[in-house]
Amino acid sequence: MNIRLKQAEIKDFDGFLAIRSEAKNVYWSGFSAAPRSETLRQHFINAINSETRKFYLLFMDELVIGYLYIDYDCASNIAEVAYGVSEHFSGKGLAAKMIDMGMSSLPVDCKAVIAWIAESNVASTKSIERLGFIKSNESLLRTFAQEEQPLKFYKFIKNIGEHHD
């Protein structure tokens, strides 16, 4: 089993669409239904071409099994991660592995990495805490199409300092 993280390319779109169409990924994206291919393709292209976002896909051999966005704010030297793993491969530590691999590409002056995690998303909380992220008191409410009440998200922070590996 060969696990690798690489920057997304347009030829990888179908694998990304498959993951984003899975029930758990639809839910955690806040939507009520799988994305329309044309709409997601435009999002995919915009993410690939972004100057402030790095967009990675996690592969097992040739199969796309996860995605990772890293948005970097040059003014604050803080990065924010957002990610998802195929529901067929969840619970295997792949989210933590993917985030850790992605963080190795951060600029040397990056001071911290943040992630917003839903209070009810136990698996994601475990993944991020495994990497040394600490839950802060900062929270926000997000409306999800499949929920009657907004979900509470907490900000998790990993301070990196002046230099990192």
Per-residue pLDDT tens over the stretch 18-73: 999 999 989 888 888 999 999 999 999 999 999 999 999 999 999 999 999 999 99
Could you tell me the end-to-end alpha-carbon distance of the chain, in angstroms, rounded to an integer? 26
125-136 average pLDDT score: 96
Q: Checking DSSP bridges between strand 78-85 and strand 112-118, what pairing results, if any?
A: parallel
- Residue 129 confidence class, pLDDT cut points 50, 70, 90: very high
164 pLDDT above the threshold of 50: no
Rounded Cα gap, residues 105 and 22, in angstroms = 28
User: What residues does each domain of the chain span?
Assistant: 3-159
Q: Checking DSSP bridges between strand 78-85 and strand 134-142, what pairing results, if any?
A: unpaired
* pLDDT cut 90: percent of the chain above it: 81
- The confidence score (pLDDT) of residue 29 equals 84
Closest CA to 92 of 44, 127, 56: 127
Rounded Cα gap, residues 144 and 149, in angstroms = 8
- Residue 163 confidence class, pLDDT cut points 50, 70, 90: very low
Going from the C-alpha of 93 to that of each of 21, 31, 55, 101, 154, the distances in angstroms are 21, 25, 20, 12, 21
- The confidence score (pLDDT) of residue 135 equals 97
Which class is 3-159 in CATH?
alpha beta
